[in-house]
Structure 1
Amino acid sequence: MQRSAPRTRLSRILACAAVPVMLVAAGCSSSDSGDSGKTQGEGQQGQGQTSASASVTPSPSQSTKKVEPAKFAKLPQVCKAISAKTTASLVPKAKTKGGTPAASSDLASRGGCSWNGLDDKGVKGSQYRWLDVSFYRYDSDAVLGSGQERAQENLAKELAKVQETPGAKKLKTVTANGIGDEAKTVTYQLRKTDEDFQYTSVLVRTGNVLVLLSYNGAGYAGAETPSEKTITNGAGTAVKEAVAAVAAANK
């Protein structure tokens, strides 16, 4: 989720979502007899056939395993998940106002979009901003678990990655209340291109969808570094819109 200085390309390893399998039958035990193939006469052949039939009949303890259905079947259009008004406010002078979509081989399961720009204020210096959002949707699978469980597991993994950001200073993690089913906000500082960058990453699970958002900024040519509050508030506004877009896409 970490984003570096200007002109750094969006790079993310997109998680794969498994093919949905809602029900799976338990396996059957093999026959205890090894002599069914050695029977002689019609009576013995009948016994052998009965034994083979019994070997594929589930016992009373064997049952069909059910998993909770995935809550969401679709993802929003990633570059429209955050309003143009919000992106224009958070990333003034964005190179691409409509956002730059990340490459994805399966837009129904994963996708991302980013915005970046340098607002030149002349003798007052310049302000650089980067914003990106990614969506990962997980289907329910009888072996891997429900979509909700899988999203929850991957939230924990992604959180650990952010918390291990090399060179991060003053890193803090807090629970973000009122966003999705569960959410974490991570703030930290990084020194890049001889400038101090302020970062905020927000990780949200809403049903079986994981929303990852990163917002960062820096001051150039004497301009001040944006405050933690400014970056965190901006990230909060954007991620709430992204989460709402997931629900809207599934109405």
Structure 2
Amino acid sequence: MHRSAPRLSRILACAAVPVMLVVAGCSSDSDDAKSSGASASPSAKKSEPTVEAAKFASLPDACASIGKKTIEDLVPKTKNKGGTPGKSSDTTSRGGCSWNGLDDNGVKGSQYRWLDVGFTRFESDQSLGSGAKRATAEYTKQVAKAQATEDAKKLSAEPVTGLGEQATSVTYGLKKSDEDFEYATIVTRTENVVVTLTYNGAGFAGAKSPSAADILKGAKKAAEEAVSAVGGDGDKSSVSPSAKASSSSSSKESDTSSSGAGSSPSPKTGAKSSSKAVAKS
């Protein structure tokens, strides 16, 4: 009995050895995992995507954005054929111009016309979004502003096709100084620029006021010229340098991917993407 006690102690001691080895092994694996995680390369982290570059880097001269012939037709007897420029502390981001005139026909009455055009350009910003996205928000704001005109009668908002990426016309009647005015506002977004054009008119001294259809027709014609002026009529200097770099990079990548041996060239199509018109009535 006394000899069995030491023997039992030796057996228990031996049995404990594998357990200690297992614990030590687990501890070693855990330390290796921590060490591996701490040495992970920073490049493994996902980088924040960059916003799309703004297409247009400048704005046209607002007073030259609408042709002289159009001004003569829409605003007869205009006081200043060259237009009255709006005040702006940053002409690359905001600009505007207006014309007004009274065609006095004596006892036959008179016709009054007023035309105004405004441009707002947005740059792409990492925290605020792309120039096009910011311009879309401004476009929606301007359409809502026109629709919220106080005391407007027979107000109507309709999409305008074939003008920029988005375009809406807002028409309404308004009584001012006992005269019935007809209004038409065309709001257009072309890439990162918003163009807001308003045309209105009224008959004085017994003369008949212009029809809503004629005012809208005139507004659309002027808006088409103003929107066309944003592109600089093909003047590449109006395109943002960052947009040029982005386009050049995309073109090079496309050339590289299609230059492999045995690859067939991409088919060419003459189809053009249609313009989108969005309106909120």
For Structure 1 versus Structure 2, the TM-score category normalised by the shorter chain is 0.7 to 0.9
1:111-130 equivalent positions in 2, closer than 5 A:
111-130=95-114
1:133 is matched with: 117
The total of aligned residue pairs comes to: 198
The residue that corresponds to 1:9 in the other structure is: none
| CA apart distance, 1:124 | 1.0
Q: What SS does the aligned partner of 1:214 have? A: strand
Match of 2:20 in 1: none
Deviation at 1:200, TM superposition (A): 0.0
CA shift for structure 1 position 122 = 1.3
2:94 to 98, 107, 110: 110
**Aligned counterparts of 2:158 and 2:207: Cα–Cα separation in 1:** 29
What residue is the counterpart of 2:133 in the other structure?
149
Q: How does 1:17-28 map to 2 (within 5 A)?
A: none
Q: Following TM superposition, by how much is the alpha carbon of 1:60 offset from its aligned partner in structure 2, in angstroms?
A: 3.4
CA distance in 2, matches of 1:126, 1:248: 37
Counterpart pick for 2:147 among 163, 177, 185: 163
Higher strand proportion (structure 1 or 2): 1
Q: SS of the residue aligned with 1:66?
A: coil
1:182 aligns with 2:187: no
Q: Which residue, out of 53, 59, 78, partners 1:69?
A: 53
Q: Which moved more, 1:202-211 or 1:64-73?
A: 64-73
In the alignment, which of 55, 64, 67 is matched to residue 83 of structure 1?
A: 67
Alignment correspondent of 1:198: 182
Superposition pairs of residues 96-107 of structure 1, within 5 angstroms: 96-107=80-91
Letter in 2 for 1:107: T
| Alignment of 1:234 onto 2:198 | no
Name the aligned partner's letter for residue 203 of structure 2. G
The TM-score with structure 2 as length reference comes to 0.68
The structure with the largest alpha-carbon Rg is 2
Aligned partners of 2:132 and 2:67: how far apart in 1? 26
In the alignment, residue 81 of structure 1 is paired with which amino acid? Answer: S
* Residues 152-178 of structure 1: CA deviation (Å, up to 9, x unaligned): 111001111111100001000000000
Give the whole-Å Cα distance in 1 for the aligned partners of 2:152 and 2:88: 29
Match of 2:231, SS state, is helix
Match among 193, 217, 240 for residue 209 of structure 1: 193
- Gaps of at least 5 residues in structure 2 are 1-37, 237-281
Tell me the secondary structure at the aligned position of residue 144 of structure 1. coil
Deviation at 1:187, TM superposition (A): 0.3
- Distance (Å, rounded) in 1 between the aligned partners of 2:142 and 2:183: 16
Q: Deviations over 1:45-101 (max 9, x none)?
A: xxxxxxxxx8xx857344133111101111111100001110111000111110000
1:147-204 CA distance string (max 9 Å, x none): 0011111100111111110000100000000011110000000000110000000000
- The CA distance in 1 between the partners of 2:200 and 2:113, in whole Å, is 6
User: What is the distance in 2 between the residues matched to 1:166 and 1:147?
Assistant: 31
Q: Which amino acid aligns with 1:245?
A: A
Q: Percent identity?
A: 57
CA RMSD after TM alignment: 1.7
Partner of 1:220: 204
The C-alpha deviation readout for 1:111-160, integer Å capped at 9, x for no partner, is 00000010001111000000000000000001111000111111001111
User: Where does residue 21 of structure 2 map in the other structure?
Assistant: none
Unaligned runs of 5+ in 1: 1-53
Counting helix residues as a fraction of each chain, which structure ranks higher?
2
Structure 2 residue identity aligned to 1:184 = T
| 1:24-65 deviation line (CA, Å, top 9, x unaligned) | xxxxxxxxxxxxxxxxxxxxxxxxxxxxxx8xx857344133
